Amino acid sequence: MLKHKFIQPLFFILALAFWLIPHNSLAFPLAYVFLLLCYLLISVYGSYFIQANYFTDQIHHGDRSNKKIALTFDDGPQAGFTSQVLDILREKKVPALFFLIGQNIKGNEVDLQRMNAEGHIVGNHSYSHNYWFSLKRTDNMLADIKLCDAEIERVIGRRPKLFRPPYGVTNPMVSGAVKRGNYTGIGWSLRSYDTSAKDGDLLLNKILANIKNGDVILLHEWGKHTIAILPDLIDKSRKLGFEFVRADELLGVEAYY
């Protein structure tokens, strides 16, 4: 598997090797352009496909030999949405992992308290969750993440150990922040794309057609069709023989410090 810590020195060595090409040859500039494009393409792939574990190790799924799966919800708490999700989960007796945005917590403390009281776990999804998050320096990024920690701890008295980067984007700064903060990175193995889904039935069928043993399923509380399909997703998954467990159990990790 590609890893940034191996690819970067490899490309540096190749760049030095290409220096041996006669400088008056057309191959010299072309070789460097080709090398640079390859490096950029690999870096973009590693940044935007979290399952690649290119910059930082994330856990994406549990044991593939049994039919246990876990639900995760990003971007909460969301006023008017989170409570509906919690109602469904309570009715269906399904635990979940909620990755929370720190700035969303103020004013929605009741939802966070419900998550904790009803047996769900929460993780850190950064405080700001804006498009510029992945461009922050490691120090600033870690400070942002810790602000989210503080908000969660303020409400439930527990500090999360699980972290999922905004938009699933990783890079060397994210890697540094995760390591320095001693977080456990959590990705996913089944992305629903519920926030861009145009039809609830198609969304539900797509998830059910792709679900596998050990899957960590990525959903969003505010997805247009998420709440509508959630009861059927749970019921039909169970009919397929899947058991819903909390992500910390599925992945064998500690949720809190």
Instruction: Kindly state whether residues 116 and 35 are assigned to the same domain.
Output: no
Instruction: Kindly state whether residues 37 and 127 are assigned to the same domain.
Output: no
Give the integer Cα–Cα distance in Å for 70 and 250: 7
* 56 falls within a domain: no
* 158 falls within a domain: yes
- Note down the domain range covering 151: 68-251
* 55 falls within a domain: no
* 156 falls within a domain: yes
Backbone angles phi, psi at 249, to 5 degrees: -70, -45
Instruction: Kindly state whether residues 153 and 221 are assigned to the same domain.
Output: yes
Instruction: Kindly state whether residues 119 and 221 are assigned to the same domain.
Output: yes
C-alpha 33: how far from chain center: 33
* 256 falls within a domain: no
Contact 214, 95 (CB under 8 A): no
For the chain, the domain total comes to 2
CATH number of 171's domain: 3.20.20.370
Contact 187, 58 (CB under 8 A): yes
Tokens of 229: 């399909």
Give the integer Cα–Cα distance in Å for 185 and 218: 14
Instruction: Kindly state whether residues 219 and 116 are assigned to the same domain.
Output: yes
3-state helix, strand, coil in the chain (%, to 5): 50, 15, 35
Across the chain, which distance is largest between two alpha carbons, in Å?
A: 73
Per-residue pLDDT of the chain (257 residues), as tens digits, is: 678 777 777 767 877 776 666 666 666 677 778 878 888 889 898 988 898 999 989 999 999 999 999 999 999 999 999 999 999 999 999 999 999 999 999 999 999 999 999 999 999 999 999 988 999 999 999 999 999 999 999 999 999 999 999 999 999 999 999 999 999 999 999 999 999 999 999 999 999 999 999 999 999 999 889 999 999 999 999 999 999 999 999 999 999 99
CA distance to 2, 28, 34, 37, 106, per residue, from 25 (Å): 32, 6, 15, 20, 63
* 57 falls within a domain: no
